Amino acid sequence: MSAPVYVAGIGIISAIGNNVAETLAALETLHAGMSDIKYLETIHRNKLPVAEVKLSNEELAIKAGLSHHISRTALLSTIAAKQAVDDAGIENFSSLRSGFISANTVGGMDKTENFFSEFLADNKKGKLRDVINHECGSATEIAADKLGIKNYISTISTACSSSANAIFFGARLIKHNMLDVVVAGGVDALTRFTLNGFNTLMILDQEFCKPFDENRKGLNLGEGAGYVVLVSEKVAATLKQKTYCKLSGYANANDAYHQTASSPDGTGSFMAMSGALKLAGLLPTDIDYINLHGTGTQNNDIAEGTAIKRLFDPLFPKMSSTKSFTGHTLGASGGIEAVLSALSIRHGIIYPNLRFHNQMKELPFAPETKFLKNQKVNNVLSNSFGFGGNCSSLLFSRV
């Protein structure tokens, strides 16, 4: 169980870019992905900003090499996962014991919604091809088939902690010598069900979100996919290029406080972060940057902030919420932010927390507001805290 697990490749698509290069450029130029709704058919168009991927299903299908009749979830997943595999450059990939562990929360619901709109108007209408890939596992299987992965395939759905759980599950499979390489992360596409649900909870900001600001009003929903290629030490030694970092720690905890809210004292958040530190054998003072879960809701930010105060006070590392760029991508957030964490270590950069103006009165710290280069970034803590109190933290370290 002590064998290290390395990040050999990364892939990402979100509202701020269709690949790693575009994503880094958007982060450095402070270009957020939120805008009026363009692709999703909804009554909230021109009312609620979202962070949509800036491509239609037809354009995504061309990139993915799949039919545009496939769910948007599967298309986004395939694109980002293929990027990660290509980036890793594993020459003998097909001969290795490989796995694909992908998280999502909506499955093919985007297509199902289209089916029922037509079917309810006329029960002789509605295309059945729109419902056959409804369940969450279908998107995973479609992407895995495209990648040629057959040894182990699994789908994880634990709300907003889904991708983080997928990543450290993949690491455990490698540590237990069950697999040599795992493509892990997650995906989610915007759907009417999701948008309507979060709107009912009254936690959507009608303006661009401002995480950890005293005057925060809620989150902006987003979509996208992010994957890392995890490899064993043996596989890492065969690679022609240097790995990004190692996954040195991880932990999952559940405070079981509420179906959709975190405990105000941040119990689950604290247990996840401290558990990741313990597994990595690191102290709070070893952390150089925290990629906050930071949704921008009243409940999340105070819960996460209280846990950070408890664990790090009085020496706080730099921190920020990149959801101020990508929106809250739900099941994809842990994967997207894992990619950003790996890039932070590789390039020595800290991301800004956009639209932050006023420090929360309950907290003794504030997030970064500038894109910082040439930073010492050896250890990054990435937080993903979901509904039902399901809290996970990943810890990435320089090799």
Residue 134 among the catalytic residues: no
Contact 195/105 with Cβ under 8 angstroms? no
- Report the candidate in 374, 330, 334, 314 with the shortest Cα–Cα distance to residue 350: 374
CB distance 352 to 370 below 8 Å: yes
**Would residue 160 show up in a list of annotated catalytic residues for this protein?**
yes
- Number of Cβ within a 10 Å radius of residue 202: 8
Identified catalytic residue from 209, 245, 293, 391: 293
List 160, 209, 245, 391, catalytic entry: 160
Residue 328 is a catalytic residue: yes
* Catalytic (active-site) positions: 160, 293, 328
